[in-house]
Amino acid sequence: MSHLEDCRQEWEEAWSDQLRFEEQGGSRGDFKNGPFFRWWCLAVIVPNLSEQYEAGNNKALFTAIDLCAIHDFRLPAWVRDGFHCGYEAVNDFKLNSWDKAFGLPHGKHANLAAMRRRRALRFDVLMAVRALHESDPTRYPIGDYTFGEVGKQSRFHKNGRAISASTVRNLFYEGQEYANPLNYLPIEILKVPGEDL
């Protein structure tokens, strides 16, 4: 059996476990205890974070530590070794700060207030675009016209001005990527046997 087939089988088992979890009173939005989301985190997100860490993104290390702590997962070797290496560099007086060991989490000149606003906005925009589209899919297809209409909504105004369709588009696709765990799976896994994608 190929890795792709293994992953597809694991996905189907995790989804079946998730449905049983929900039948027993669990919530689909329970990202800590839901079996599918626990599998998704361990099988898809943590390996994705490993690739990001190997590419030089030290924040991926701390995201992995956080996910493992939330889900009570044992730390993967790359997480354990990456943290230990940075910790020892500070503990052994080779480096004088955690920032030097692990890097700045948001960059030197990060505007944290703007980053918080953008993070909050992307989900609000995602939901507003979906709601408008679902109200009349013919009139509001997912595209620039609908993005522009959402940007005109007063709740998204910045300094009294509408946000642009391109900003709404970017926020929509960012929100969609973060909101959907299936975006991290190879498309072949999601294919229904006998159907084309």
Q: CB neighbours of 152 closer than 8 A, spacing ≥ 6?
A: 162
C-beta separation of 123 from 129 below 8 A:
no
Q: How far is Cα 189 from Cα 12, in angstroms, rounded to an integer?
A: 9
What is the structure's pLDDT at 87? 95
**DSSP percent split of the chain into helix, strand, coil, nearest 5:** 70, 0, 30
What is the structure's pLDDT at 186? 44
pLDDT digit string (tens) for 135-182? 999 999 999 999 999 999 878 777 778 888 999 999 998 888 776 655
| % of the chain residues with pLDDT over 70 | 86
What is the structure's pLDDT at 68? 92
CB-count burial class (<10 Å; 0-12, 13-18, 19+) for 46:
buried
Residue 20 or residue 176, greater confidence:
20
Domain boundaries of the chain, sorted by first residue: 3-106, 112-182
pLDDT digit string (tens) for 38-81? 888 888 888 888 998 999 988 889 989 998 998 899 999 999 99
Kindly tell me the sign of the dihedral angle through the C-alpha atoms of 44, 63, 172, 138. Answer: positive
Q: How far is Cα 180 from Cα 143, in angstroms, rounded to an integer?
A: 19
